[in-house]
């Protein structure tokens, strides 16, 4: 019996209901067999007046089977292409039926699911927020290779189609309707199939209702072909802007744009073959493997609670206290209130606390102006935030998050003073970026209820929270922190205690290696350009200006007080830079008047001229590849050390944390996945070369050698 239910009614309309054996409908071998059989039956059907494609699952169709895509190797490209052409052939048969075909979209139709809908003549969706429509493949290192690029381009035009393809946008039905991705909506599931059948019945006598727009002789693609005069600017600027954004490191996006351009000029069958050929190349390449592994499987693993202690009931945070209304505290207040949590935002003065609350007002006003929120909803969020300078307002909080300056003495004082305000079973979280949680918890009366909750700036935009367990942190505290992080719609990674934990110490090596390169004589602009060339969002000198050189100086002082003088191999180099820029010249970073760069009122910037006199040596010789590898390998090696020593609890935490928290190049799949793709033996060899040329900080961690010896990858 087919997993596609086939029912013909008295009006000659066939309802095909997809109900595959797995939890969702997906494009796999079972689908291919079912669709092929269904098409043969439809083509032979007598008295057929129309077809409705529906789903028995809550999700209309989940797209391609990513396990199959992950397993495809470069040498399988030709076989992969042929299989894709066979699958697309069935969709082409579907859209060439002599009767109207309607997609009845009851749930999410993403990727391959929406590609099926595009092969239908008409698309009707249940108007509910659970229904998402779009082509998210580019975010997974792929692109819509089942006809998605070709058909969407021909449907709405190349200029309008590109953002939905390249940016992996997911639209709710009303927005999808406005954008032309679907044709109609219904307000209830009960109306969906009847509405689809009603369209077919109303189409009797309309010959064009059963013909796709691109199969009509007089059809002209909206906006014109890419080689038309009106698209001359788009043809030149779009590839340039894409390269600026991806730096040539995202082959799926380059291929998708190329296919979209060609689709605007070619007949549909030729364009579909080109789309399929390119897709086979991209899908069997390393970037697709990296991004599928990390952004689908590992991210789902983390969000699914793999790091959360089992057998502890889910905990809901109802009232959170936030100590410090500065940049971090005000951001935490905003995301907490947005999640419906009562917030007490405390600072040393009521004025400072109110200023922190005003940050939320500013963000909410933007949402209202853009039509993303009503004024009433925005006000209800603001009403949840209480700015205060009084400790007693914190009474009864089931979670208090301390977000004050990175000073152990200050944090200890605040913990002792305010911890009694917690509810009886309340928990204490420190938003520290570097200081050991075990040491901070020494001031706590209940160290088992003390945990690190490290946010990233700006909190409203950054998706990650790094949860740090001290030596005495209980499973209950970890579960509480994990649940709170999910409640505010962030992705939690869980790490064990150390100075700098995972993200800060790894990010620190990026800045430190830039300082090494600078003091060796490398041109500062070259350092930043090559940092971006490897895929980092910002060059290391610029990002240190943004995060504050002054902060690095204070961190060095704090570590010195703790007896740590040469953390992460920086030592003399970073101290020299701090002396040269801050002590001697008062250049503490962008928000202290400038650092490596000078910043101007018109928004422009340039390297601070005396920096050349301090460090630049025109005679210093080093290749671009060496610079790029030094900036990348330092971070990868530190990540591996964290895994080796148990600071990182899982490979998934390392990959997701490096991308969402540090800005690791997305195409690598994260700093640990980078090693898998680079090849463990190749990585060991390159580390040895870098170590011999530039120092022991590039020594390959033993964990890599052990995995290579056992023939294992990191998973």
Phi, psi (deg, nearest 5) at residue 171: -115, 140
Which of 257, 284, 311 lies at the terminal end of a domain, its last residue? 284
**634 in a domain, yes or no?**
yes
**549 and 603 belong to one structural domain:** yes
CA–CA separation, 180 and 164 (whole Å): 11
Q: What angle do CA 229, 235, 236 make, to 5 degrees?
A: 110
pLDDT of 568: 44
Rounded mean pLDDT for each run of 10 residues along the chain, 715 residues in total = 92 98 93 96 97 97 89 91 95 97 98 98 97 97 97 98 97 97 98 98 91 94 96 96 95 98 97 97 96 96 95 95 96 98 98 98 97 96 98 97 91 96 96 93 97 96 97 97 98 94 93 95 98 96 85 65 52 82 90 92 94 96 98 98 97 98 97 98 98 97 98 96
Q: Residues 284-331: pLDDT tens digits?
A: 999 999 999 999 999 999 999 999 999 999 999 999 999 999 999 999
Nearest Cα residue to 1 out of 33, 44, 45, 42: 33
pLDDT of 562: 59
pLDDT of 434: 87
Indicate the pTM of the whole model: 0.93
**512 and 489 belong to one structural domain:** no
Question: 122, 412, 454, 667: which is the annotated catalytic residue?
Answer: 454
**144 and 162 belong to one structural domain:** yes
Residues 447 and 468: beta-carbon distance below 8 Å: no
**202 and 66 belong to one structural domain:** yes
Which CATH number does the domain housing residue 611 bear? Answer: 1.10.1040.50
Total number of domains constituting the chain: 3
Burial (CB count within 10 angstroms: exposed 0-12, middle 13-18, buried 19+), residue 183: middle
**36 in a domain, yes or no?**
yes
SS3 content of the chain, % helix, strand, coil (to 5): 55, 15, 30
**251 and 280 belong to one structural domain:** yes
**555 and 605 belong to one structural domain:** yes
**Alpha-carbon dihedral of residues 585, 590, 592, 597, nearest 10 degrees?**
20
Q: Residues 486-529: pLDDT tens digits?
A: 999 999 999 999 988 999 999 999 999 999 999 999 999 999 99
Which domain does 393 fall in, by range?
319-497
Which CATH number does the domain housing residue 328 bear? Answer: 3.40.50.720
**361 and 456 belong to one structural domain:** yes
Nearest Cα residue to 452 out of 480, 424, 491, 425: 480
Which of 463, 480, 497 lies at the terminal end of a domain, its last residue? 497
pLDDT of 561: 61
Q: Counting runs of H as helices and runs of E as strands, what totals does the chain give? A: 30, 19
**509 and 369 belong to one structural domain:** no
Nearest Cα residue to 163 out of 174, 155, 173, 153: 153
ω into 336 cis (within 30 of 0): no
Which of 441, 475, 497 lies at the terminal end of a domain, its last residue? 497
Is 600 tagged catalytic?
no
Name every residue whose Cβ is closer than 8 Å to that of residue 710 and which is 6 or more positions away in sequence: none
């Amino acid at each position: 019996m087919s997993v596609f239910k086939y029912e013909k009614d008295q009006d000659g309309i066939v309802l095909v209901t997809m109900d595959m054996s797995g939890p969702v409908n997906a494009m796999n071998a079972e689908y291919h067999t079912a669709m092929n059989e269904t098409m043969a039956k439809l083509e032979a059907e007598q008295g057929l007046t129309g077809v409705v494609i529906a789903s028995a699952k809550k999700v209309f169709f989940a797209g391609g089977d990513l396990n199959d895509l992950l397993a495809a190797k470069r040498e399988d490209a030709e076989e992969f292409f042929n299989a894709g052409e066979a699958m697309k052939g069935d969709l082409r048969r579907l859209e060439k039926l002599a009767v109207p075909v309607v997609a009845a979209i009851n749930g999410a139709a993403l990727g391959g699911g929406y590609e099926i809908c595009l092969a239908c003549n008409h698309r009707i969706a249940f108007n509910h927020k659970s229904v998402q429509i779009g082509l998210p493949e580019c975010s997974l290192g792929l692109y819509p290779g089942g006809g998605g690029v070709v058909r969407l381009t021909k449907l709405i035009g190349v200029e309008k189609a590109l953002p939905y393809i390249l940016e992996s946008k997911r639209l709710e039905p009303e927005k999808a309707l406005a954008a032309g991705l679907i044709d109609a909506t219904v307000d209830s599931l009960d109306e969906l199939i009847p509405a689809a059948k009603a369209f077919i019945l109303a189409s009797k006598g309309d010959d064009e209702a059963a013909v796709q727009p691109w199969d009509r002789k007089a059809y002209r693609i909206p906006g014109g072909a890419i080689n038309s005069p009106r698209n001359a600017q788009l043809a030149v600027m779009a590839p340039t802007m894409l390269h600026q954004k991806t730096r040539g490191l995202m082959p799926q996006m380059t291929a998708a744009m190329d296919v979209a351009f060609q689709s605007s000029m070619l007949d549909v069958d030729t364009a579909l073959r080109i789309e399929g050929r390119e897709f086979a190349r991209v899908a069997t390449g390393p970037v697709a493997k990296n991004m599928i592994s990390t952004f689908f499987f590992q991210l789902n693993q983390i969000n699914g609670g793999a790091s959360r202690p089992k057998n502890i009931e889910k905990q809901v945070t109802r009232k959170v206290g936030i100590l410090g209304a500065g940049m971090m505290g005000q951001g935490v207040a905003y995301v907490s209130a947005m999640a419906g949590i009562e917030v007490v935002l405390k600072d040393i003065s009521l004025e400072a606390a109110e200023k922190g609350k005003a940050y939320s007002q500013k963000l909410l006003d933007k949402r209202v102006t853009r039509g993303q929120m009503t004024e009433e909803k925005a006000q209800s969020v603001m009403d949840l935030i209480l700015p205060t300078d009084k400790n007693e307002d914190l009474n009864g909080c089931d979670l208090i998050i301390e977000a004050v300056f990175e000073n152990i003495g200050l944090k200890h004082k605040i913990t002792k003073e305010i911890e009694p305000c917690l509810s009886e079973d309340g928990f204490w979280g420190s938003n520290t970026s570097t200081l050991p949680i075990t040491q901070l918890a020494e001031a706590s009366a209940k160290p088992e209820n003390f945990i690190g909750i490290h946010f990233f700036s700006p909190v409203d935009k950054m998706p990650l929270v790094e949860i740090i367990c001290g030596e005495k942190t209980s499973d209950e505290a970890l579960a509480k922190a994990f649940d709170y992080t999910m409640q505010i719609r962030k992705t939690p990674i869980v790490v064990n205690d150390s100075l700098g934990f995972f993200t800060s110490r790894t990010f620190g090596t990026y800045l430190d290696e830039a300082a090494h390169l600078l003091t060796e004589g490398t041109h500062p602009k070259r350092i930043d350009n090559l940092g971006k060339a490897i895929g980092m969002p910002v060059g290391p000198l610029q990002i240190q200006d943004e995060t504050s050189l002054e902060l690095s100086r204070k961190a060095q002082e704090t570590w010195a007080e703790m007896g740590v003088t040469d953390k992460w191999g920086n030592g003399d180099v970073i101290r020299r830079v701090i002396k040269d820029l801050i002590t001697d010249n008062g250049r503490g970073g962008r928000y202290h008047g400038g650092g490596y760069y000078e910043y101007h009122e018109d928004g422009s910037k340039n390297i601070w001229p005396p920096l050349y006199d301090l460090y630049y040596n025109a005679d210093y010789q080093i290749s671009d590849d060496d610079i790029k590898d030094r900036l990348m390998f330092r971070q990868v090696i530190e990540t591996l050390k964290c895994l080796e020593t148990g600071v990182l609890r899982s490979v998934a935490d390392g990959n997701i944390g490096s991308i969402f928290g540090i800005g690791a190049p997305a195409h690598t799949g994260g700093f640990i996945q980078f090693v898998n793709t680079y090849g463990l033996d190749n990585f060991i060899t390159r580390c040895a070369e870098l170590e011999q040329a530039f120092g022991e900080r590039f020594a390959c961690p033993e964990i890599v050698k052990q995995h290579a010896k056992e023939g294992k990858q990191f998973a």
